[in-house]
Amino acid sequence: MSLSGNDKLEIPITKLQWSFRGAQIFFAFFAMCTIAAVISFDNSHTSSSIMANFDLFIVLVSMPTAAVIAGIPHLYLKHGKFKAFAKAMRHPRYEFVLSAIWAVLLLICSIGLSVEFGLRDCNPQDFPEALNKSGDSFKNGLHRTCTTGKASTAFGWFALAAWLGSIGVLASEWYSNRRQPVAKNESGFDDIMHSNSTRSSLEDGTVGYQDKERFQSITAIGGSGTPPVSEYKDYNSPPTRLSPPLAPTPQPIPAPQPASSPLQIQPPPGAVSFPEPQRFG
C-alpha cells in the first residue's frame, strides 16, 4: 500500500531507540528463560514463590510491548497500516508514560528477586522432605537453581536499564521539541501578526488572546491595509475608498508677506503696535 504525500506521517525512529527496544527484548528473553527454570525446579520438589511467578509474567509481557512500541510505527511507514495506533505509539507523552509504567514494574520485580535469592537457603539439608524424595537430583539441582535465580535477577536489572534508557531518550526529545524558538521579524512581533491569514485566524479563534489584543492595537494605530468603505443609499453607484481615519490632512503654508520698506519689520499677529517716531527735517 503506497502512501501519498498528504497521508504519510513523519514518525522518526532513531537508531538509539531501536537499540534500547532491542535490548529490552533481549534481556527480558534471558530473564524469562532463567526464571522459568527456577520455577520449574521449585514446583518439582517444593513450591515456587509468588515473586518468581510475578516476575515471569512481567518479563513475558514486556517483550511484545517493546516490540509493538517500535514495530507498529515501522509497519505504518513501510506499509501504511495501523495509522491511529502508530500515531499513539510515537506520541512522546504516551510513549513516555507507557515506558515509565513498565520501568516501575521491572523495578519492583528486580528488587523482589534480589531480596528473595539473596536470602534464599541453598543448603539441601534444610529441605529434608525434598531430599528424601528426590535424593541426589535435588541436592545437585539446588545449587544450580540458586545460581540461575541470581542470573535471572541480573538480566532483570539489565532490562530495567534498557527501559530507563528509552525514557531518557524520550524525555530529551520531548524537551528539545518544547523548547523550539519562535521566529520573529525585525519589529519584534511574531510572524503571525503579518501573515495574510491573521484576520481569518482572529475570527475563527485559532490565534491566542494576547495575539488578538496586539493585532487590534496595531490596527487601531493605522496598520490595517484596507481602508473603510463609505455606505451609499444608491447601491448602483460605485463605492469609493475613503482615506484612513487617522491620516493627517495636509494644510497649506501661508506665503510670507513682504515688508513695506527694507527697514520696516512687520509685527507678528496679536502684538501691540506703537506709532512710528516722527522724523525732523
pLDDT 10s digits, 111-170: 999 998 888 777 777 777 777 676 677 777 888 888 899 999 999 999 999 999 999 988
d(CA 218, CA 190): 13
Do residue 141 and residue 62 come from a single domain?
Answer: yes
Do residue 169 and residue 206 come from a single domain?
Answer: no
Provide the pLDDT confidence category of residue 57 given band limits of 50, 70 and 90.
Answer: very high
The structural domain count of the chain equals 2
Do residue 55 and residue 108 come from a single domain?
Answer: yes
Give the tens place of pLDDT for each residue, 261-275: 555 556 666 666 666
User: Would 57 be classed as within a structural domain?
Assistant: yes
Tell me which residue range forms the domain holding 91: 15-178
* Mean predicted lDDT score pLDDT of the chain: 72
Range from 43-52, 76-85, 137-146, 250-259 carrying the lowest mean pLDDT: 250-259
- Tell me the angle at which helices 136-178 and 92-118 cross, rounded to the nearest 10 degrees: 150
CA distances from 129 to 23, 132, 138, 146, 149 (A): 41, 5, 10, 19, 22
* 3-state secondary structure at position 120: coil
Do residue 87 and residue 210 come from a single domain?
Answer: no
Do residue 200 and residue 106 come from a single domain?
Answer: no
Do residue 41 and residue 71 come from a single domain?
Answer: yes
CB-CB contact of 73 with 11 (8 Å): yes
Do residue 67 and residue 197 come from a single domain?
Answer: no
User: Would 142 be classed as within a structural domain?
Assistant: yes
Amino acid at 192: I
User: Would 239 be classed as within a structural domain?
Assistant: no
Where are the alpha helices (H) located in the chain, listed in sequence order? 15-45, 50-79, 83-89, 92-118, 128-134, 136-178, 198-204, 209-218
Do residue 84 and residue 207 come from a single domain?
Answer: no
User: Would 227 be classed as within a structural domain?
Assistant: no
| Strand partners of residue 190 | 184
Q: What is the mean pLDDT of residues 176-183?
A: 53
User: Would 51 be classed as within a structural domain?
Assistant: yes
Do residue 93 and residue 166 come from a single domain?
Answer: yes
Q: Which of 104, 103, 111 is nearest to 51 (CA)?
A: 111
Which residue has cell 538509539?
16
Do residue 54 and residue 169 come from a single domain?
Answer: yes
CA–centroid distance for 106 within its chain: 26
d(CA 108, CA 119): 17
d(CA 105, CA 59): 9
User: Would 237 be classed as within a structural domain?
Assistant: no
d(CA 155, CA 146): 15
The proportion of the chain whose per-residue pLDDT surpasses 70, expressed as a percent, equals 55
User: Would 240 be classed as within a structural domain?
Assistant: no
Task: Inform me whether the pLDDT recorded for 211 exceeds 60.
Answer: no
Do residue 174 and residue 199 come from a single domain?
Answer: no
Do residue 31 and residue 117 come from a single domain?
Answer: yes
pLDDT value of position 272: 62
pLDDT value of position 1: 45
**45 against 276, higher pLDDT:** 45
Give the tens place of pLDDT for each residue, 233-251: 444 555 555 555 555 566 6
CA distances from 149 to 8, 33, 111, 207 (A): 47, 10, 13, 60
Amino acid at 146: C
